[in-house]
Structure 1
Amino acid sequence: MKRKPGFLHIALNVLLVVCVVILSWTAAFYITGFLYSKVAWEPHDLLAFLINAMLGFFIFGLAISIAGPFVKRREHHYWSELIDALRRISRGDFRVNLDAGFGSAHNNQRQNHPYAQLVNSINDMAANLKVMEELRQEFISNVSHEIGSPLTSISGFAKALKNENLDRERRQRYLTIIETECLRLSKLSDNLMKLAVLDSERHPFKPMPYRLDKQLIALILTCEPQWEAKKIEMDVDVEEVEVVADEDLMSQVWVNLIHNAIKFTPYSGKISVVLTRSGDQAIIRVADTGSGIAEKDQLRIFERFYKADKSRERTSGGSGLGLSIAQKITEMHHGLISVSSKLGEGTEFKVLLPLNVR
């Protein structure tokens, strides 16, 4: 069915040429007949045929030469539109939407035409570049906001410290705030650098066999001061699972998920980390008893800089990049990370990781 429009287009062009030839020869026949009657001459049949044929081809050529400039002008208009669209795209204007039918009423017959395919490609390119530009602008806006907030705090409290009448307690509190904001900026810078390296695919990816259960237990013990300080009950149930993956990169995933769970679990809450094996993949679940995430936010939780609870993230020093990094690393391992949550009932992140990514 896809070749039908192209065949019909060719057939109509051939039929049009045949009609023009027939009309040219018909016109030549009546013109020569009229001239013969005027000069009272009746040539031999062969000679009359040759004269009619030559005159017919002359009329056909004349018709083509007259119609040619109009066709070239139409094609020139098409190419001018394409060149203008490309120039607009090169200047950063991605609001380009060319007519794939070139203004023709027979749009269905021209879908497979090279012009139409070129126009569709340009439209797709412009649409993709427009989306990328919107994401870039949003990214710059988010980075500017995340950097501007701590800088404002640092600047304000630094000016306050110039006051010689400040008591020791208030001075120490201001210095603590400045130190916290500096650490926040440092963490933001590190996360941005990680994302940039991961996006550029320059990060060394070295999958090696190792015990995933031992890695999870070691990281949980490393975070013990944090969850012990909040009297959180840590429930760990891990099977013995060996995977072939980049151990350093995957440790970043587990650290981000565990830190998030600790951060948003209330005092005397509970966190569970479960590792099981199912077929050729490992299943890791990190669940907490925090306040949960709204359903509308779960659709965007892995977006860069997205914060389901902006006030809570501000107090905890989050930048909204941790889950983006976790998702990127998981995808590099051909895995899948997802979230399920209900407000007031906690949150669970689930990671499906192939046992072998080679």
Structure 2
Amino acid sequence: MEPVIATTNKPANSIDDPELSLRWSARLSLTTRILAVNILAIALLAGSLFYLDNYRDELTHERLSQARLQTQIISDALNLQTPENREDLIVSFAADLKSRLRLYDKDGRKIVDSFDLAEPTYELRDPQEQPWQKDVARTLDQSIEFIVISEPITAFSEPKNDKVSAWPELKLLSVDQKSNSAVRYAPDRTPVIIAASYIPSSEHVLLLTSNARDITRIVRAERSNVVLVIFLTALVSILLSLFLARTIVRPIRKLARAAVRVRLGRAPEIAIPRMPGRRDEIGQLARALADMSGALRYRIDATEAFAADVSHEIKNPLASLRSALEGLDRVDDPDLRRQLIDVANDDVRRIDRLINDISEASRVDAELARTKFEKVDVGKMLDQLLAAREQRDTNESVKIAFARPGRGVATIMGDGDRLERVFSNILDNAVSFSPKDGLIEILATPDADEVVIQVSDQGPGIAKEQRQNIFKRFLSDRPAEEAFGKHSGLGLAIAKTIVEGHEGIVKVIDRPDGQQGACFEIRLPKATG
């Protein structure tokens, strides 16, 4: 299997786009990045678990406030009761509040305990006797408290010598501070609410303790719901991430492998999938790569054919030049030597013409791709071209008639120098085939969103089956009276390349007036604005 990335060596002139470059994630695959982004979102959602710790603190603080209020109410009620009714009232309050109530005298000794008078209203559970799920829940509680740096809570245990001095919460009570409350953790990490109230009239102290298991139960139930939501969300997110990675990464890898095969040239024709069913950016990329591959293949084939044609065309004048030069050593007749020198000079000029035209034909595509098109008035350009040809006397005895359009009527976007080369080559061809004192007619007119230029001559014309072939390179079908080697056969091919580079077309049609001769028709997009 070919690697997706063909090479890690960058050319010397390569420049990375800073907007597209990656830093810390450059080595991660696209699939990994998609998963990481979605998992990060799930991790942010998991932060709601830590909010539950604040929720538990709020519940605890509310329960402590209630416990202080309850002890004050019970203290006031006890203050109004006789000692005979006091124990019944304490048992009644303890049963209603699901708590343990203790009363201490002014010497700190316990004088009443609801657990001694009636059945206990709660029981501290031993974690060793609970199922493993409770251990997991407690571990999760401790982990979250550690992460959010919760205020530490001391452990609760019943004192062996139950008196006021054994309870830190009772030591602070006085006439000034009549109530106090605190929370501790039972052995199974459930909160134990402790509240105390000072009774000034009798100097007694009331202590309330309650195992608020419901707080832990509520928080853990909410946490379980959040964990379930997070799990389901993570599952859906991962599945969607994998689906997204499948729809993005797999076709990109397929395109990358096809591009590598194109680079390696392992087959004459490498088919890059066009993915016609996809209308998104991946489909656009696939079609763009397929079109680019086809264009590259066409250029490679054209370059190979061009190289073969160049080799073939240069061989003939080189062979003639070699033969003439070799004959000079064996010929003593001055006239024959002069003829051989003339042949050699003609071959040198022919080779020079071939090299110039070949150079022009090979670079015209690249130069057009870099050229910035400007508005060109075809009428004005042809006027200047015809004046220059008249001055150089390149029309020989042939006359040229040009029906000049109005100023700005026939305007196109293009490269004026290249377009002038097109018309010059076509006029050279028309002059070559025109009879002595013949007439060449040029017409330039706008047609909807195009500008149409027609060049008609009075030559022998071109057969319909040959009208496409004349634009091929090195075509040497010239008039019989023309000296051999005067043309390279690249003029019309260069003209066709330039016209197509301007998104136009050039073709040969019958003369519009029905007379004998050829008519070259060029259609170029009309300039807008």
Letter in 2 for 1:238: F
| Other structure's SS at 1:134 match | helix
2:353 aligned to 187, 194, 200, which one? Answer: 187
Q: How does 1:32-51 map to 2 (within 5 A)?
A: none
Aligned equivalents of 1:341 and 1:72: distance in 2?
59
Report what 1:157 is aligned to.
Answer: 324
CA RMSD of aligned residues (A): 5.2
* Higher Rg of the two aligned structures: 2
Q: Which residue of 1 aligns with 2:466?
A: 297
Counterpart in the other structure of 1:84: 257
User: 2:387 matched to 1:238?
Assistant: no
* Aligned pair partner of 1:172 in 335, 338, 341: 338
**What do residues 192-245 of structure 1 show as CA deviations (whole Å, max 9, x unaligned)?**
333445322367977589474464255146346x744xxxxx343334557678
Q: TM-score, normalised by structure 1?
A: 0.59
Corresponding residue for residue 475 of structure 2: 307
1:270–1:289 CA contact under 8 A, matched in 2: no
Gaps of 5+ in 1: 1-50, 102-106, 229-233
Distance 2:523 2:487 in 1: 25
Q: State the SS of the aligned residue for 2:466.
A: helix
d(CA) in 2 for partners of 1:73, 1:214: 61
Is the alpha carbon distance of 1:98 and 1:186 closer, same or farther for their aligned partners in structure 2, counting shifts above 3 Å?
Answer: closer
- 1 CA distance for matches of 2:528 and 2:280? 43
Which structure shows the higher helix fraction?
A: 1
With 127-136 and 209-218 compared, the bigger mean Cα shift is at 209-218
* CA deviation profile, 1:144-171 (whole Å, cap 9, x unmatched): 22222222221221111121x3422222
Measure the CA separation in 2 of the matches of 1:211 and 1:81: 50
Q: 1:141 to 1:308 in 2, by over 3 A?
A: same
Please show how residues 1-358 of structure 1 align to structure 2 within 5 Å: 81-93=254-266, 95-97=269-271, 111-112=278-279, 119-163=286-330, 165-199=331-365, 200-201=367-368, 210=380, 212-213=382-383, 215-220=385-390, 222-223=392-393, 227-228=396-397, 234-240=398-404, 249=418, 251-265=420-434, 269=436, 271-276=438-443, 278=445, 283-290=453-460, 292-303=461-472, 305-307=473-475, 309=477, 315-330=484-499, 337-340=506-509, 345-351=516-522
User: Which amino acid letter does the alignment assign opposite residue 309 of structure 1?
Assistant: D
Q: Assess, with a 3 A threshold, how the Cα gap between structure 1 residues 76 and 218 changes in structure 2: closer, same or farther.
A: closer
Write out per-residue CA displacement over residues 31-89 of structure 1, whole angstroms, 9 at most, x where no aligned residue. xxxxxxxxxxxxxxxxxxxx9xx99x99xx99xx9xx99x9999998676544322211
Residues 211/75 of structure 1: CA separation in 2 closer, same or farther (3 Å cut) = closer
Cα deviations across residues 246-305 of structure 1 (Å, max 9, x unaligned)? 77555533432232223334xx55532224454585745241323x323233124334x1
Task: For residue 338 of structure 1, give the secondary structure of its aligned residue in structure 2.
Answer: strand
- 1:171–1:287 Cα change, 3 Å: same
Shift of 1:98: 5.2
| Aligned-partner SS, 2:519 | strand
The offset of 1:137, in angstroms, is 1.0
**What residue number does 1:46 align with?**
none
CA distance in 2, matches of 1:348, 1:223: 23
Change (3 A) 1:91 1:323: same
Match of 2:518, SS state, is strand
Give the 3-state SS of the residue equivalent to 1:87 in structure 2.
helix
How far is 1:329 from its partner?
4.8
* Residue in 2 that maps onto 1:33: none
Contact 2:259 2:272 in 1 (8 A): no
**TM-score using structure 2 length:** 0.42
Report percent identity of matched pairs: 24
Question: CA distance change for structure 1 residues 171 and 331 in 2, over 3 Å: closer, same or farther?
Answer: same
Q: Which runs of 5+ in 2 are unaligned?
A: 1-223
- Mapped to 2, the partners of 1:235 and 1:188 lie a distance apart of 28
Instruction: State whether residues 237 and 275 of structure 1, in contact with CA within 8 Å, keep that contact through their aligned partners in structure 2.
Output: yes
How much has 1:181 moved relative to structure 2? Answer: 1.6
Distance in 2 of aligned mates of 1:328 and 1:88:
29
Q: Do the aligned residues in 2 keep the contact of 1:210 with 1:247 (CA within 8 Å)? A: no
Deviation string 1:325-351 (CA, Å, 9 cap, x unpaired) is 334555677765432259x94322244
Counterpart Cα distance in 1 of 2:501 and 2:247 = 49
* Alpha-carbon offset, residue 124 of structure 1: 3.5
The AA in structure 2 aligned to 1:85 is: A
Specify whether residues 177 and 84 from structure 1 end up closer, same or farther in structure 2 by C-alpha distance, changes over 3 A only.
Answer: same
Give the distance between the partners of 2:422 and 2:283, measured in 1 at CA. Answer: 46
Amino acid at match of 2:357: N
Q: Give aligned pairs, total.
A: 294
Using the TM superposition, give the Cα deviation of residue 320 of structure 1 relative to its aligned residue in structure 2, in angstroms: 2.2
- The CA distance in 2 between the partners of 1:223 and 1:330, in whole Å, is 26
Change (3 A) 1:308 1:293: farther
3-state secondary structure, aligned to 2:349: helix
Q: Relative to 1, partners in 2 of residues 1:243 and 1:336: Cα closer, same or farther, differing over 3 Å?
A: farther
3-state SS, counterpart of residue 493 of structure 2: helix
**1:236 partner letter:** I
| Structure 1 residues 76 and 261: CA distance shift in structure 2, 3 A | closer
